[in-house]
Chain A
Amino acid sequence: MEKDEYFRMYREMVVIRRLEERSAELYQQGKIGGFLHLYIGQEAVSTGLISARKPQDRVITAYRDHGVAINCGLSAREVMAELLGKATGCSKGKGGSMHLADVTKNFWGGHAIVGAHLPIATGLALGDAYKGEKNVTICMFGDGATNIGFFHEALNMSKIWNLPVLWVCENNQYGMGTAVERASAVSEIIQKAQAYAMPSRRVDGMDVMAMRQAAEEMIEAIRNGAGPMLMEAMTYRFRGHSMGDPERYRKPEEVHRYQENDPIGIFRKYLQENGIATEEELNQLDDEAEAIVEDAVQFAEASPEPQPHELFEHIYVEA
């Protein structure tokens, strides 16, 4: 991997972190409405994963989607503008935090109904297979989604049709406030792949390089016709399920233990120990990320509200 690529990945992780810290502030100020599900702690998962895709590979995810959007190449500006509900947002202010997308970048959206996007991912891959395209669909979802019927229908169909899908479970160990072992009959999600004769792999989701390597191998195999596979990324969200989560279901010590294993810190250490980046270079990247996010906040705050006529636009393509 080139130095530029390491730097790009590191900067992306910091942009995601800063963007979400700032969005939490803006939420407290009442500038962001609705639900806000922060990705803080999970940045290594999507950064490693999506850095391994080719631009023609499709990505679709759940409602915890800010980081995935940034990794897919959406600008911090259009993400922040969407969080503020502005006309300049990637979904024109109609989607909000849970519904970011840019189909021109093959980011097929954040989806807010748990598990509902999995059958859609099957269809995206079916579309590629039908047309003979060698694209892979990457579908991300939480551990909670694996207890929903949609998960089983989607995995089964992807396997019987040998579709090019990488199913990525971000196991952050809680579906809202319910621990995975209290919600799922098997706490190792990879075991569920066995029910569909699907190759699977458990990966350290706090380690961006481990994610990158596993994703490269699995995406390549799928592109070469291996059929669908499931990756379980072991991760942890440092914040609550959404803003206003009282977090009664886990002890502060547990959260602190993971925070000491911060994926950005782990990557920082990796870059320095392997002589890829110096302290100064990393600080420089931190500053760049900070500036990108501050610019995004200013852009979003200065952006116009959607016009009243936009209320009735995009209900249908055809009148």
Chain B
Amino acid sequence: MARITMREAISQALWEEMERDPNVFILGEEVGVWGGTYAVTKGFYDHFGPERVRDTPIAEAGIIGAAIGAALTGLRPVAELMTINFAFSAMDHIVNQAAKLHYMFGGQMVLPMVIRAVGGGGRQLGATHSQTPDAVFAHFPGLKVVAPGTPADAKGLLKAAIRSNDPILFIEHATLYQMRGEVPEGDYTVPIGKSTIQRPGRDVTIVTYSKMLEISLKAADQLAKEGIEVEIVDLRTLRPLDMEPVLESFKKTNRAVIVEEGWKSYGVGAEIASRIYEEAFDYVDAPIRRVAQKEVPLPYNRTLEQMALPKVEDVIQAVKEVLNG
């Protein structure tokens, strides 16, 4: 297997799907001539042309609305939002239109569309460009929300998303584009809506996804040196949420830490912890802990920003707390 970056994995998925299906096309800000602000679509414009790699004005509602309309005609648009922070400008079209048209019109309208959006903090971009609002979007039935944590998953999940007939928000973490990992050769998909065990262990279950998978894996390596074996469940998809691997793992370890980059209040951790309490209360040996971002708009200053984001040490500390709890 080749070791490639997350950026290359996502780019490969897009390229291969566009080669495979002429109905797949890309639209968004700077996706064409520029090659994507994160260089994911570099080279696409020259190869596929301006019809299939369509530069748009800076108009997020217009972009997502156009993707919805095109999807209704049977095309498979992949709309790129330069960052997920700009999704708020298109909020109506994502949560009110894309998420609801299929249901509200009694199943008549089918929207095979993907919205790619870059999320996450840690790049000193200030409060409005550094958010991790994944839980906000996962709140809405009708939308599927996918957020991969490895290059292999990113490629397989994006291919599955493009082939899916449902509207999917595909969240890519800005600081994961350079991450390298083994990616299988040839065509493959990773099923949407399936959590997976990324690291087996017996003592504590860590539930996480996206960038926090990397943080959790580092914490696990350090904990292993102290003889603590954590099992890591990677959610990969936030909606629909696959709790089976989480519950199976918890029933084995009886202890859990949930690691998310977004704010703790009303977040992914709150959801997972609550589900564990509801569905596996008899197996609880210690209060479930949540590691999350401090409840502040992310500051620009590097030191302050790093203070606010979840770190490896936070995960290690939380694991030790549940072991002692």
Q: Report yes or no: B62 in contact with A153, Cβ–Cβ below 8 A.
A: yes
Verify A119–B66 contact, CB threshold 8 A. yes
CA A164 – CA B41 in complex, angstroms?
A: 28
Q: Is the CB of A127 within 8 A of B75?
A: yes
**Residues in B whose Cβ lies below 8 Å from that of A160:** 57
Are the C-beta atoms of B102 and A126 separated by less than 8 Å? no
Query: Are A314 and B96 touching (Cβ within 8 A)?
Result: no
The distance from the CB of A160 to the nearest CB of chain B, in whole angstroms, is 7
The A96-121 residues at the B interface (CB cut-off 8 A) are 99, 101-103, 108-109, 111, 113, 116, 118-121
Q: Does B144 contact A (CB under 8 A)?
A: yes
Contact A153 B57 (CB under 8 A): yes
The answer, yes or no, to whether B142 is at the interface (CB within 8 Å) is yes
Tell me, rounded to whole Å, the shortest Cβ–Cβ distance linking B26 to chain A.
Answer: 12
A55 at the interface (CB under 8 A from B): no
- B153, chain A: closest CB distance, angstroms: 19
A119 and B25 in contact, given A127-B75, A317-B110 (Cβ under 8 angstroms): no
Docked Cα-Cα span, A118 to B65, in Å, equals 8
Query: Nearest chain-A residue to B166 (Cβ)?
Result: A316
Query: B62 and A94: CB pair below 8 A?
Result: no
At the interface, yes or no: B103 with Cβ under 8 Å from chain A?
yes
Report the minimal beta-carbon distance from B284 to chain A, rounded to whole angstroms.
30
Q: Does A195 contact B (CB under 8 A)?
A: no
- Take A122-B62, A316-B142 as given contacts and tell me if A113 and B103 are in contact as well, using a CB distance cutoff of 8 Å: no
| A-B Cβ contacts below 8 A, count | 141
Using A99-B104, A160-B57, A314-B102 as known contacts, say yes or no to A113 and B92 having CB atoms under 8 A apart.
yes
Give the size of the chain B interface in residues (CB under 8 angstroms).
43
A102 x B108 contact (CB < 8 A): yes
Contacts of B37 in A (CB 8 A): none
CA distance A121 to B97 in the complex (A): 13
B21 in the interface (beta carbon within 8 A):
no
Cβ-defined contact, B62 with A119, below 8 A: yes
Q: Would B62 and A92 count as touching, CB distance under 8 A?
A: no
Cβ of A162 to closest chain B Cβ, rounded Å: 12
For A150, the closest partner residue in chain B by CB is B61
The answer to whether A156 touches B72, judged by C-beta atoms less than 8 angstroms apart, is no
Given contacts A116-B92, A130-B51, contact A313 B73 (CB under 8 A): no
Q: Does B12 belong to the interface (CB within 8 Å)?
A: no
Q: List 18 A-B contacts (CB under 8 A).
A: A91-B105, A93-B106, A94-B103, A99-B105, A102-B108, A103-B72, A108-B72, A109-B101, A116-B61, A122-B62, A122-B66, A123-B65, A123-B77, A124-B73, A128-B73, A130-B51, A130-B75, A317-B164
A120-B72 contact, Cβ under 8 Å, with A149-B61, A153-B61, A156-B62: yes
B82 to A: closest C-beta gap in Å:
15
- The docked-state distance in angstroms from the alpha carbon of A126 to that of B110 is 16
